[in-house]
Amino acid sequence: MKLATSFLVAFTFVLVACQTLEEIWIKTTNSGDVDALRTHNVYDYYTSLSSYHLFPAQNRSIMFSVKACYAASVLLSAAVDLNSPDFYEICLGGGFEYAYTFFRRKYNTGETLGPYTPKIINCAEHVTFILSWTIAGRITLTKNTYNGTEVVIDWTDATPLSIQGVGVMTSWGADGIWILEHIPVFTGYYCGKFGTYGNMVLLYIVMQPSRIRCLLECKNNDACFGVNFNANTSKCQLIAGRQLIVKSIAQDWNFYIKCLAGNEMCLACLDV
Protein backbone atom coordinates (compact mmCIF):
# COMPACT_ATOMS: atom_id res chain seq x y z
CA MET A 1 0.00 0.00 0.00
CA LYS A 2 1.25 3.49 -0.82
CA LEU A 3 0.39 6.95 0.36
CA ALA A 4 -1.32 8.98 -2.34
CA THR A 5 1.00 11.46 -4.04
CA SER A 6 -1.77 14.04 -4.17
CA PHE A 7 -4.76 14.36 -1.88
CA LEU A 8 -8.24 14.85 -3.22
CA VAL A 9 -8.68 17.79 -0.89
CA ALA A 10 -11.24 20.54 -0.98
CA PHE A 11 -9.19 22.67 1.36
CA THR A 12 -6.98 22.44 4.41
CA PHE A 13 -7.00 25.12 7.05
CA VAL A 14 -5.94 25.64 10.66
CA LEU A 15 -8.01 26.13 13.78
CA VAL A 16 -6.61 26.58 17.27
CA ALA A 17 -7.26 23.27 18.98
CA CYS A 18 -5.68 20.35 20.79
CA GLN A 19 -7.29 16.91 21.00
CA THR A 20 -6.06 13.43 21.75
CA LEU A 21 -7.33 10.46 19.71
CA GLU A 22 -6.20 6.97 20.55
CA GLU A 23 -7.11 4.42 17.89
CA ILE A 24 -6.47 3.89 14.20
CA TRP A 25 -8.74 1.29 12.59
CA ILE A 26 -7.49 -0.69 9.58
CA LYS A 27 -9.30 -3.37 7.58
CA THR A 28 -7.28 -6.04 5.79
CA THR A 29 -8.95 -8.23 3.19
CA ASN A 30 -7.88 -11.75 2.34
CA SER A 31 -4.43 -11.66 0.68
CA GLY A 32 -4.76 -15.23 -0.59
CA ASP A 33 -2.74 -18.34 0.18
CA VAL A 34 0.48 -16.55 1.05
CA ASP A 35 2.96 -16.67 3.90
CA ALA A 36 6.71 -16.54 4.46
CA LEU A 37 7.00 -20.30 4.04
CA ARG A 38 5.98 -20.33 0.38
CA THR A 39 5.83 -16.73 -0.90
CA HIS A 40 9.20 -15.12 -1.61
CA ASN A 41 7.72 -11.60 -1.84
CA VAL A 42 5.22 -12.04 0.98
CA TYR A 43 5.94 -8.49 2.14
CA ASP A 44 4.09 -7.18 -0.93
CA TYR A 45 0.85 -8.56 0.51
CA TYR A 46 1.12 -6.68 3.80
CA THR A 47 -0.34 -3.29 4.65
CA SER A 48 2.51 -1.12 5.86
CA LEU A 49 1.68 0.92 8.93
CA SER A 50 3.88 3.67 7.51
CA SER A 51 1.06 4.29 5.02
CA TYR A 52 -0.93 5.52 8.01
CA HIS A 53 2.01 7.51 9.39
CA LEU A 54 2.46 4.93 12.14
CA PHE A 55 6.07 4.05 12.93
CA PRO A 56 6.22 1.51 15.80
CA ALA A 57 9.92 0.85 15.15
CA GLN A 58 10.71 4.18 16.76
CA ASN A 59 9.63 2.74 20.12
CA ARG A 60 10.38 -0.92 19.30
CA SER A 61 6.89 -1.82 20.47
CA ILE A 62 3.31 -1.90 19.27
CA MET A 63 0.00 -2.57 20.96
CA PHE A 64 -2.72 -3.78 18.62
CA SER A 65 -6.09 -5.50 18.68
CA VAL A 66 -7.29 -7.73 15.89
CA LYS A 67 -10.60 -9.36 15.04
CA ALA A 68 -10.17 -12.17 12.53
CA CYS A 69 -11.25 -15.79 12.36
CA TYR A 70 -7.69 -17.01 11.69
CA ALA A 71 -4.44 -16.28 9.81
CA ALA A 72 -3.78 -12.75 11.05
CA SER A 73 -0.11 -11.90 10.54
CA VAL A 74 2.32 -9.18 11.59
CA LEU A 75 5.54 -8.46 9.71
CA LEU A 76 8.60 -6.91 11.32
CA SER A 77 10.73 -5.70 8.44
CA ALA A 78 14.19 -4.24 7.89
CA ALA A 79 12.54 -1.63 5.62
CA VAL A 80 10.03 1.05 6.57
CA ASP A 81 7.98 0.22 3.45
CA LEU A 82 8.44 -3.54 4.11
CA ASN A 83 10.19 -4.10 0.76
CA SER A 84 13.05 -6.21 2.12
CA PRO A 85 13.91 -9.93 2.28
CA ASP A 86 14.96 -9.43 5.91
CA PHE A 87 11.92 -9.80 8.13
CA TYR A 88 10.19 -11.70 10.90
CA GLU A 89 6.64 -12.95 10.36
CA ILE A 90 4.20 -13.80 13.13
CA CYS A 91 1.01 -15.62 12.11
CA LEU A 92 -1.79 -15.83 14.67
CA GLY A 93 -4.24 -18.68 14.22
CA GLY A 94 -2.46 -20.76 11.61
CA GLY A 95 -1.96 -24.45 10.94
CA PHE A 96 -4.30 -27.34 11.74
CA GLU A 97 -7.63 -26.06 13.07
CA TYR A 98 -5.98 -22.60 13.17
CA ALA A 99 -4.62 -23.57 16.57
CA TYR A 100 -0.99 -22.45 16.25
CA THR A 101 1.06 -19.28 16.26
CA PHE A 102 3.92 -19.41 13.77
CA PHE A 103 7.05 -17.32 14.04
CA ARG A 104 9.24 -17.21 10.92
CA ARG A 105 12.54 -15.58 10.09
CA LYS A 106 12.86 -14.68 6.40
CA TYR A 107 11.42 -16.56 3.42
CA ASN A 108 11.32 -20.36 3.23
CA THR A 109 13.32 -21.03 6.39
CA GLY A 110 10.63 -23.01 8.17
CA GLU A 111 8.97 -22.22 11.48
CA THR A 112 11.39 -20.91 14.06
CA LEU A 113 8.63 -21.33 16.62
CA GLY A 114 5.15 -22.84 16.43
CA PRO A 115 3.50 -22.93 19.85
CA TYR A 116 0.06 -24.46 20.26
CA THR A 117 -2.29 -21.53 20.87
CA PRO A 118 -5.91 -22.62 20.34
CA LYS A 119 -8.48 -19.83 19.98
CA ILE A 120 -5.77 -17.16 20.13
CA ILE A 121 -7.98 -14.94 17.92
CA ASN A 122 -11.62 -15.16 16.92
CA CYS A 123 -14.27 -13.79 14.58
CA ALA A 124 -16.49 -12.25 17.24
CA GLU A 125 -14.32 -9.80 19.16
CA HIS A 126 -11.02 -7.97 19.14
CA VAL A 127 -8.12 -9.54 20.99
CA THR A 128 -5.31 -7.30 22.23
CA PHE A 129 -1.59 -8.05 21.94
CA ILE A 130 1.66 -6.26 22.72
CA LEU A 131 4.59 -6.98 20.40
CA SER A 132 8.00 -5.65 21.39
CA TRP A 133 11.62 -6.18 20.43
CA THR A 134 15.08 -5.06 21.48
CA ILE A 135 18.24 -4.10 19.64
CA ALA A 136 19.81 -7.23 21.11
CA GLY A 137 17.29 -9.39 19.23
CA ARG A 138 14.73 -10.38 21.85
CA ILE A 139 11.18 -10.50 20.48
CA THR A 140 8.19 -10.93 22.76
CA LEU A 141 4.49 -11.21 22.03
CA THR A 142 1.96 -11.13 24.85
CA LYS A 143 -1.81 -11.46 24.79
CA ASN A 144 -4.20 -9.65 27.09
CA THR A 145 -6.70 -12.04 28.66
CA TYR A 146 -9.36 -11.83 31.32
CA ASN A 147 -6.89 -13.54 33.66
CA GLY A 148 -3.99 -11.20 32.93
CA THR A 149 -1.15 -11.24 30.43
CA GLU A 150 -0.23 -14.43 28.58
CA VAL A 151 3.18 -14.87 26.91
CA VAL A 152 2.79 -16.19 23.37
CA ILE A 153 6.35 -15.75 22.05
CA ASP A 154 9.61 -14.98 23.80
CA TRP A 155 12.59 -15.60 21.55
CA THR A 156 16.01 -14.08 21.00
CA ASP A 157 17.73 -13.94 17.62
CA ALA A 158 21.47 -14.51 17.90
CA THR A 159 21.96 -12.42 14.73
CA PRO A 160 19.10 -9.94 14.98
CA LEU A 161 17.61 -8.09 12.05
CA SER A 162 17.27 -4.32 12.26
CA ILE A 163 13.52 -3.67 12.39
CA GLN A 164 12.44 -0.48 10.66
CA GLY A 165 8.89 -1.17 9.51
CA VAL A 166 5.76 -3.02 10.61
CA GLY A 167 2.93 -4.45 8.51
CA VAL A 168 -0.30 -6.38 9.00
CA MET A 169 -2.10 -8.93 6.83
CA THR A 170 -4.88 -11.50 6.82
CA SER A 171 -4.69 -14.44 4.45
CA TRP A 172 -5.87 -17.97 3.61
CA GLY A 173 -9.47 -16.77 3.25
CA ALA A 174 -9.65 -14.48 6.27
CA ASP A 175 -10.40 -10.77 6.55
CA GLY A 176 -9.52 -8.76 9.61
CA ILE A 177 -10.06 -5.50 11.45
CA TRP A 178 -7.07 -4.09 13.31
CA ILE A 179 -7.00 -1.40 15.97
CA LEU A 180 -3.62 0.27 16.48
CA GLU A 181 -2.93 2.17 19.66
CA HIS A 182 -1.80 5.69 18.84
CA ILE A 183 -1.97 8.98 20.73
CA PRO A 184 -1.60 11.83 18.23
CA VAL A 185 -2.61 15.44 18.78
CA PHE A 186 -5.20 17.18 16.64
CA THR A 187 -3.86 20.66 15.86
CA GLY A 188 -6.69 21.93 13.71
CA TYR A 189 -5.96 20.49 10.28
CA TYR A 190 -8.70 18.74 8.33
CA CYS A 191 -8.63 16.72 5.15
CA GLY A 192 -11.68 17.06 2.93
CA LYS A 193 -13.15 15.43 -0.16
CA PHE A 194 -15.83 17.00 -2.34
CA GLY A 195 -18.64 14.79 -3.58
CA THR A 196 -17.97 12.21 -0.89
CA TYR A 197 -19.99 10.95 2.06
CA GLY A 198 -18.68 9.14 5.13
CA ASN A 199 -20.90 6.09 5.70
CA MET A 200 -20.04 5.91 9.37
CA VAL A 201 -21.61 6.00 12.82
CA LEU A 202 -22.77 9.53 13.65
CA LEU A 203 -22.68 11.34 16.98
CA TYR A 204 -25.50 13.70 16.05
CA ILE A 205 -26.80 16.02 13.33
CA VAL A 206 -27.07 19.81 13.53
CA MET A 207 -27.81 22.64 11.11
CA GLN A 208 -24.87 24.96 10.41
CA PRO A 209 -24.74 27.82 7.87
CA SER A 210 -21.24 26.99 6.57
CA ARG A 211 -18.60 24.30 6.48
CA ILE A 212 -16.43 26.39 8.81
CA ARG A 213 -19.14 26.41 11.44
CA CYS A 214 -19.67 22.69 10.94
CA LEU A 215 -15.99 21.95 11.43
CA LEU A 216 -15.87 24.20 14.49
CA GLU A 217 -18.72 22.13 15.92
CA CYS A 218 -16.53 19.04 15.50
CA LYS A 219 -13.42 20.75 16.83
CA ASN A 220 -15.17 21.49 20.11
CA ASN A 221 -16.26 17.88 20.62
CA ASP A 222 -13.63 15.42 21.87
CA ALA A 223 -15.61 12.45 20.52
CA CYS A 224 -15.88 13.89 17.01
CA PHE A 225 -13.60 12.39 14.34
CA GLY A 226 -14.93 14.34 11.36
CA VAL A 227 -18.05 15.59 9.60
CA ASN A 228 -20.30 15.22 6.59
CA PHE A 229 -21.51 18.63 5.41
CA ASN A 230 -24.17 19.43 2.84
CA ALA A 231 -24.02 23.09 1.73
CA ASN A 232 -27.41 22.87 0.00
CA THR A 233 -29.28 21.82 3.13
CA SER A 234 -26.84 23.18 5.78
CA LYS A 235 -26.93 19.75 7.36
CA CYS A 236 -23.84 19.01 9.50
CA GLN A 237 -23.31 15.41 10.59
CA LEU A 238 -20.71 14.80 13.29
CA ILE A 239 -18.91 11.47 12.87
CA ALA A 240 -17.82 9.35 15.83
CA GLY A 241 -14.27 8.08 16.25
CA ARG A 242 -13.05 4.53 16.85
CA GLN A 243 -14.39 3.02 13.64
CA LEU A 244 -13.34 2.17 10.12
CA ILE A 245 -13.44 4.94 7.53
CA VAL A 246 -16.03 4.06 4.88
CA LYS A 247 -16.66 6.46 2.00
CA SER A 248 -19.06 6.64 -0.93
CA ILE A 249 -19.70 9.06 -3.79
CA ALA A 250 -22.43 11.60 -2.99
CA GLN A 251 -22.56 14.73 -5.13
CA ASP A 252 -24.14 17.09 -2.58
CA TRP A 253 -21.94 16.10 0.35
CA ASN A 254 -18.41 16.92 1.49
CA PHE A 255 -16.52 14.61 3.86
CA TYR A 256 -13.92 15.93 6.31
CA ILE A 257 -11.73 14.05 8.80
CA LYS A 258 -9.32 15.45 11.37
CA CYS A 259 -5.62 15.04 10.64
CA LEU A 260 -3.99 13.32 13.60
CA ALA A 261 -0.41 14.57 13.42
CA GLY A 262 -0.24 18.20 12.41
CA ASN A 263 -1.12 18.25 8.71
CA GLU A 264 -0.30 14.54 8.34
CA MET A 265 -2.11 11.28 9.19
CA CYS A 266 -5.17 12.55 7.30
CA LEU A 267 -6.88 9.19 7.10
CA ALA A 268 -9.76 10.21 4.84
CA CYS A 269 -7.32 11.15 2.08
CA LEU A 270 -4.89 8.26 2.30
CA ASP A 271 -4.73 5.98 -0.72
CA VAL A 272 -4.91 2.78 1.32
Q: Which CATH architecture has domain 186-269?
A: 3-Layer(bba) Sandwich (3.50)
pLDDT top residue among 6 and 89: 89
The contacts of residue 128 (CB under 8 Å, 6+ apart) are: 63, 64, 65, 143, 144
Question: What pLDDT is attached to residue 141?
Answer: 98
Mean pLDDT of 88-106: 97
Q: What is the pTM of this model?
A: 0.87
pLDDT at 61: 96
Predicted pLDDT at 272: 59
Q: For 194-242, write each residue's pLDDT tens digit.
A: 999 999 999 999 999 999 999 999 988 889 999 999 999 999 999 999 9
With a pLDDT cut of 90, the percent of the chain lying above it is 75
CA distances in angstroms from 18 to 39, 72, 120, 146, 213, listed in the order given:
44, 35, 38, 34, 17
What's the rounded mean pLDDT across residues 29-56? 96
E strand spans, the chain: 19-20, 23-28, 47-48, 61-68, 72-77, 87-94, 100-105, 127-133, 138-145, 148-156, 165-170, 176-181, 185-186, 190-198, 202-207, 224-230, 235-240, 247-258
Half-sphere exposure of 59 (CA within 13 A, CB side): 10
pLDDT higher than threshold 80 for residue 12: no
Pairing mode, strands 19-20 and 72-77: unpaired
Average pLDDT, the chain: 89
Average pLDDT of the segment spanning 134-158: 96
The residue among 10, 11, 15, 21 whose CA lies nearest residue 265 is 21
Cα-to-chain-centroid distance, residue 223: 19
Domain boundaries, the chain: 24-181, 186-269
Average pLDDT for 2-15: 37
Class of domain 24-181: mainly beta
For residue 2, pLDDT beyond 60: no
pLDDT at position 260 is 80
Contact (CB, 8 A) for 208 and 233 = no
pLDDT score for 266: 79
Residue 74 — very low, low, confident or very high, per pLDDT cuts 50/70/90? very high
- Output the CA torsion 61→63→67→70 (10° steps): 30
